[in-house]
Amino acid sequence: MRFYFLTRNRIIYESAMNKNSELKRYLRHLKFKENEWENLCIKCGACCGAYDDPCRHLKKSGNNKFHCRIYSNRLGTRKTVGGEEFDCVLVKEIMHTYWKNDCLCACKKYLKMPLSRKKNA
C-alpha cells in the first residue's frame, strides 16, 4: 500500500509508510502465532470429532494420527459423517470450550500447563 502526495505532505507519506510497516510486522506476528498453534497439534483428531461423529473430511492415517483432506480450505460450514452441520474454525478459537475427548488435545494440555513448564516445553 503506497500513498503519494505531490505537495508538502511528505510527512503524511512517511507516516503512512510507517503504518504500512507496522501492519506488515503485525501480520507476520499473527502468522508466527498461528504456526505456534499448528506446531502444538499432534493430529489426535479430537477437535474434529474423531472419537464421536467426525467431520466427513477427517481421515485416519496408518499411525493412528488424523488429517483433514481439505485442510487449506477447511474453515467454514462443514458436515459430520452423521450429517450434522458445524462451523470449522481455527483450533485456537475453541481452546476455552469443551468438546468430547478434548482431554486428548495437545493444545489444550499445553494451555493447562503451568507457565514454568511451558518455558521448557
Domain residue limits, the chain: 1-40, 43-121
Q: Residue 31: what pLDDT?
A: 85
Give per-residue pLDDT as tens, 13-34.
555 556 778 888 888 888 888 8
Q: Which residue has the cell 485416519?
A: 60
Which uninterrupted H or E stretch holds 67?
A: strand 66-68
Looking at residue 2, what is its pLDDT? 43
Instruction: Provide the pLDDT for residue 56.
Output: 96
**C-alpha distance from residue 113 to each of 14, 15, 93, 106 (Å):** 44, 42, 18, 10
Give 36's pLDDT tier (boundaries 50, 70, 90). Answer: confident
Residue 4, pLDDT > 50, answer: no
pLDDT for res 99 = 80
pLDDT at site 121: 56
Nearest to 24, CA basis, from 41, 1, 47: 1
